[in-house]
Structure 1
Amino acid sequence: MSPEQIGFALLYLGLFLLIGKWIRMHSTWMQNLFLPASVIGGFLALLLGPEVLGKILQNFTGEESFWATGILTTEIIEVWSALPGLMINIVFATLFIGTVLPNLKRVWNIGGPQLAFGWTLGWGQYVIGLLLAMLILVPFYDMPPFIGALIEVGFEGGHGTAAGLQSTFEELGFPEAYDIAVGLATVGILSGVVVGIVLINWGVRKNKTQMITDVKGLSPTQKAGIVEVEERGEGSKQTVRPESIDTFTFHFTLVGLAIFVGYIILQGITWLEAALFGSDFMTYIPLFPLAMIGGLIVQIFISKFDTSKLVDRNTITSIQGFSLDILIASAIATVSISVIGEYLVPFLILALFGIAWNLFGFFVFGPRMMSDYWFERAIGDFGQSTGVTATGLMLMRVADPEMKSPAAEGFGYKQLVFEPFLGGGLVTALSAPLVFMWGPWPFLIFSILMLIIGIAAGLFYFGKRKIQQ
């Protein structure tokens, strides 16, 4: 493959993202669903690629025809297929760079209830998934036991985590798990948004919300995904002079350094494991959770030595957002519909039970674990547990447009403890290899214990007291 083909594939993906944004701006239906342009553009590319349009045209032009892959060439699909696994490293490397940790007491008081609630939903997904695997999917559909981990991988981890685990699934002997996980991530985002908006409307009608009385209060500009002119801030700051290095370039080098540190850690522990134990478990571990650790290490050094305040969190967030848009669009565009069709019943079982568990948690645990602003808090964690962090943030913004409740602050504090483990963290990355290496029962028992801890902390500690500032 030539450099020109790689470059064109990237430019072509940008075109679909642009079209996705245009559709979002001009489609009332898409606006009401709050679908990101990356999801819209990715679906459009999927429909116009080899999985849909290509298979239709093959009936008329033959399998060897230029049109057999739709309007996407084989080279474009090959490049796009590699992008999610690369971009997820950038997304996770940026999680801690430029952040400032608040004092632990405030984190505990404000974020603790949402941590207990999110912890319960996340570990519950493993419990439900592994039970489904052992009782139905393994004996009746001849699937590997680690298929039960895909609810949490797809729903909370999202497209990025699924993409990051693609090579792991191949090493574990069931590469089809990647397409199933991406499909679950897509269903998760869609159901998270749709069901979340339905829940907000229900909350308004039943007087469960404290911050809004009408979901229709959002302006057309807001629904189109455009920031009002008078609300536009300065955005990223120029922290270095451009004649030395561009600010964006400087921040990107920090992200690259974080990924490199993560790579060194991964290689080190892989070598150490082989030298001490003669095993190869760490070879199943993807890079992205270690890139997150690398970002944390880089931030520690920044906090101690960046006396000139060169690191701007907004710029890091822009790098993260850019990478996530590329990741989501390319992951959806290259998903194998035929694989999902082959495992349609297991796929639907995992998706439906995953959504049902999240709804159960929202209605049963939400109001009992969070003693004030429970709806505004719980809707964000429902969104994340169904359709990744961005969905949770979006639903919280709809339920609390001016961010006057403690929901957003508590959600952010919760992430500091939650993300390193669940939602794409170390547990998410290790779950499938652990089930593969040790069998499903040890991980199921551990998941049940973690679920009990989350429920107990939420119901009997945080649920019994008012939030302390």
Structure 2
Amino acid sequence: MSLAILAVAILLLIGVVLRQSIVALRVLFIPGSVVAGFVGLLTVTLLGRWGGEAVAAQTAEVNATLAGWPGPLIAVVFAAMMLQQSGGSPRPHDDSTARRVGRQGLMVWIIVLGETMVGLWATWWLIQPLYDVPNSFGMLIETGFAGGHGTAAAMGQVFSSPQVGLEAGLDLGLLMATCGLVYGVVSGIVWINVAARLGWLHDDSAGASSSGAAQEKKPIGFQTTSSDAIDPLLLQVVWVALAVGVGMLMQTVVLGVAGRIDIALGAGAGSGAVGADAELSKRMAASNVMDFPLFIYTMFGGWLVRRVLRGLGQSHRVDSATIERLSSTAMEVLVVAAITSLKLSAVAALIGPFSILFVCGAIWTAICLMVLSRWVLPGEHWFPLALINYGMSTGTTATGFVLLRVVDPELKTGAASDYALAAPLSAPFIGGGILTIALPLVLLERVSIAWPALVIAAVVLVLVLVGRQLGRVKR
């Protein structure tokens, strides 16, 4: 842990120096934390290959530590975000929240179901005429892009099951997840610059990232209590820690109740199923359906702490400026850890059909970011929110926040809040949820690939039309 902290500190210093020294990095709005992450990725790769056995082992240990940081750091970001007073947030929750959250949830379904759609069509029309692969091969885009490495590992059992027969599915899924992570960050930076040239970045989101703009120096925060009692900065850390702790407690309670429901219904691991059927049974269990990412629970934890303080008449003890700085700090470290810990060592089996799927997935996610998101998402912050979706749909939520950090470094838009509130509408079902696991086992290998490809395409088309109509009703 100590070496990982030291490594991140050094990388951040290097990233800031390079960012200030290289004009191209400033022109492209690339933050120092992103530069630091790629410097770390290059360093880890070089030391792992040519650093000697001892150095390679130590590097791998540090990298493994960093790989575990993004999840908890995202939880801190969302807890801090909800702790801030509504006066410090440009998008307080109001009567339009449900509409915005619904449109965001709809957009996630369009993106992720669309990844399955293009994967199945590419497999049907381009891959199967040349290669002997099962219908479920088309699920690799959703598995790797939207699902990430965790889903790729779980889907390995599904792909290798007798129902599917894709023995290389685990390796291909991990390779797709790895390539998606790298592609998501690099291409996302490109699309951000395209959006800037098109005038899609509003002053409240992009202004802080512009290198040439003179920025007024502001105090980091304000004292909300006497320093004789407790250091004012530490008090703000305490509020964040309380929010995270409450969120973790909520997660434990919810999963405990869900586990009791599974026991009562005889579902989950004790159902007697084996192999891929056991994986499907596990995904359909209440404990898995309610196993939302920690950041969703810490978001509600932050909200609860803020409400309690308000009810006690102590809301002035929370300094939004300081909380915002703590959140930004967590995001900076998150960016470095997420990029540095990318795993680039994956086997290249079936590289031909894999490349076809990758290109199709890249085209679809780009269309969703630059075209469909403008139709469906709330107009006031559609691009920052689309960037989080883009990162999620090409790698992980951490990737989305890497991109959001470029255009909205202080979370001035309501994009992060809308994303978090809408996550429960899709997380249990797609991008590694029940439908992701069930499609190969229950449907894809039992019928012609044409039928699921056509049906899913029709569903995606209907969702796009609904989203387009909602966008026209109120923009």
Report the TM-score, using the length of structure 2 for normalisation: 0.68
The yes-or-no answer on 1:23 pairing with 2:13 is no
C-alpha displacement at 1:194, in angstroms? Answer: 0.7
The yes-or-no answer on 1:198 pairing with 2:205 is no
Runs of 5+ in structure 2 lacking a partner? Answer: 161-168, 270-281, 392-398, 445-451
User: Equivalents in 2 of 1:119, 1:434: separation in Å?
Assistant: 12
* Corresponding residue to 2:361 among 319, 338, 354: 354
* Corresponding residue to 2:218 among 233, 236, 246: 233
The yes-or-no answer on 1:147 pairing with 2:140 is yes
Once the two structures are superposed, what CA deviation does each residue of 1:230-269 show, in whole Å capped at 9, x if it has no partner? Answer: 2x33444444545346223312232122123213322331
C-alpha displacement at 1:347, in angstroms? Answer: 5.7
C-alpha displacement at 1:303, in angstroms? Answer: 1.7
CA contact (8 A) 1:96 1:292 kept: no
Closer/same/farther in 2, CA of residues 253 and 76 from structure 1, 3 Å limit: same
Closer/same/farther in 2, CA of residues 337 and 211 from structure 1, 3 Å limit: closer
Closer/same/farther in 2, CA of residues 117 and 262 from structure 1, 3 Å limit: closer
Aligned-partner residue type, residue 259 of structure 1: M
User: Equivalents in 1 of 2:442, 2:291: separation in Å?
Assistant: 26
User: Equivalents in 1 of 2:35, 2:134: separation in Å?
Assistant: 32
**3-state DSSP class of the match of 2:68?**
helix
* Corresponding residue to 1:307 among 304, 310, 313: 313
CA contact (8 A) 1:384 1:392 kept: yes
User: Equivalents in 2 of 1:118, 1:124: separation in Å?
Assistant: 9
The Cα RMSD (Å) is 4.6
**3-state DSSP class of the match of 1:337?**
coil
Once the two structures are superposed, what CA deviation does each residue of 1:30-76 show, in whole Å capped at 9, x if it has no partner? Answer: 22332333332222222222x33442x37xxxxx644556xx53432
Which residue matches 2:246?
257
**3-state DSSP class of the match of 2:218?**
coil
Closer/same/farther in 2, CA of residues 377 and 9 from structure 1, 3 Å limit: closer
Which residue matches 2:394?
none
Which residue matches 1:296?
300
Closer/same/farther in 2, CA of residues 427 and 21 from structure 1, 3 Å limit: farther
Which residue matches 1:82?
68
Closer/same/farther in 2, CA of residues 92 and 368 from structure 1, 3 Å limit: closer
Closer/same/farther in 2, CA of residues 186 and 340 from structure 1, 3 Å limit: farther
**3-state DSSP class of the match of 2:193?**
helix
C-alpha displacement at 1:228, in angstroms? Answer: 4.1
Aligned-partner residue type, residue 46 of structure 2: V
C-alpha displacement at 1:193, in angstroms? Answer: 1.4
CA contact (8 A) 2:144 2:152 kept: no
C-alpha displacement at 1:435, in angstroms? Answer: 2.4
Which residue matches 2:5?
10
Closer/same/farther in 2, CA of residues 98 and 333 from structure 1, 3 Å limit: same
C-alpha displacement at 1:455, in angstroms? Answer: 1.7
1:286-435 matches, within 5 Å, as 289-296=293-300, 299-300=303-304, 302-304=306-308, 305-309=311-315, 310-339=317-346, 341=348, 345=352, 348-361=355-368, 365=372, 379-387=383-391, 388-390=399-401, 393=404, 408=413, 411=415, 414-415=418-419, 417-421=421-425, 425-427=427-429, 430-431=432-433, 434-435=435-436
CA contact (8 A) 2:29 2:210 kept: no
Which residue matches 2:179?
183
Which residue matches 1:125?
115
**3-state DSSP class of the match of 1:140?**
coil
Which residue matches 1:248?
236
C-alpha displacement at 1:384, in angstroms? Answer: 3.1
Aligned-partner residue type, residue 262 of structure 1: Q
Closer/same/farther in 2, CA of residues 152 and 357 from structure 1, 3 Å limit: same
**3-state DSSP class of the match of 2:268?**
coil
Closer/same/farther in 2, CA of residues 187 and 211 from structure 1, 3 Å limit: closer
C-alpha displacement at 1:191, in angstroms? Answer: 0.4
C-alpha displacement at 1:457, in angstroms? Answer: 2.6
CA contact (8 A) 1:420 1:426 kept: yes
Aligned-partner residue type, residue 197 of structure 1: N
User: Equivalents in 2 of 1:78, 1:123: separation in Å?
Assistant: 31
Closer/same/farther in 2, CA of residues 35 and 164 from structure 1, 3 Å limit: farther
Closer/same/farther in 2, CA of residues 7 and 303 from structure 1, 3 Å limit: same
User: Equivalents in 2 of 1:328, 1:163: separation in Å?
Assistant: 17
C-alpha displacement at 1:192, in angstroms? Answer: 1.4
User: Equivalents in 2 of 1:142, 1:52: separation in Å?
Assistant: 38
Between stretches 15-24 and 377-386, larger displacement belongs to 377-386
Closer/same/farther in 2, CA of residues 437 and 123 from structure 1, 3 Å limit: closer
Percent identity of paired positions between Structure 1 and Structure 2: 18
User: Equivalents in 2 of 1:110, 1:279: separation in Å?
Assistant: 34
Closer/same/farther in 2, CA of residues 211 and 149 from structure 1, 3 Å limit: closer
Once the two structures are superposed, what CA deviation does each residue of 1:400-449 show, in whole Å capped at 9, x if it has no partner? Answer: xxx9xxxx45x467436434445xx5455643x54224537779799667
User: Equivalents in 2 of 1:379, 1:300: separation in Å?
Assistant: 29
Closer/same/farther in 2, CA of residues 78 and 382 from structure 1, 3 Å limit: closer
Closer/same/farther in 2, CA of residues 13 and 164 from structure 1, 3 Å limit: farther
CA contact (8 A) 1:169 1:175 kept: yes
1:154-165 matches, within 5 Å, as 162=148
**3-state DSSP class of the match of 2:30?**
coil
Between the two proteins, the alignment pairs up a number of residues equal to 417
CA contact (8 A) 1:183 1:340 kept: no
User: Equivalents in 2 of 1:389, 1:270: separation in Å?
Assistant: 31
* Corresponding residue to 1:462 among 446, 453, 471: 471
Report the TM-score, using the length of structure 1 for normalisation: 0.69
Runs of 5+ in structure 1 lacking a partner? Answer: 1-5, 59-63, 155-161
CA contact (8 A) 1:191 1:386 kept: no
CA contact (8 A) 1:187 1:351 kept: no
**3-state DSSP class of the match of 1:336?**
coil
CA contact (8 A) 1:24 1:31 kept: yes
C-alpha displacement at 1:308, in angstroms? Answer: 0.6
Which residue matches 1:3?
none
User: Equivalents in 2 of 1:397, 1:249: separation in Å?
Assistant: 22
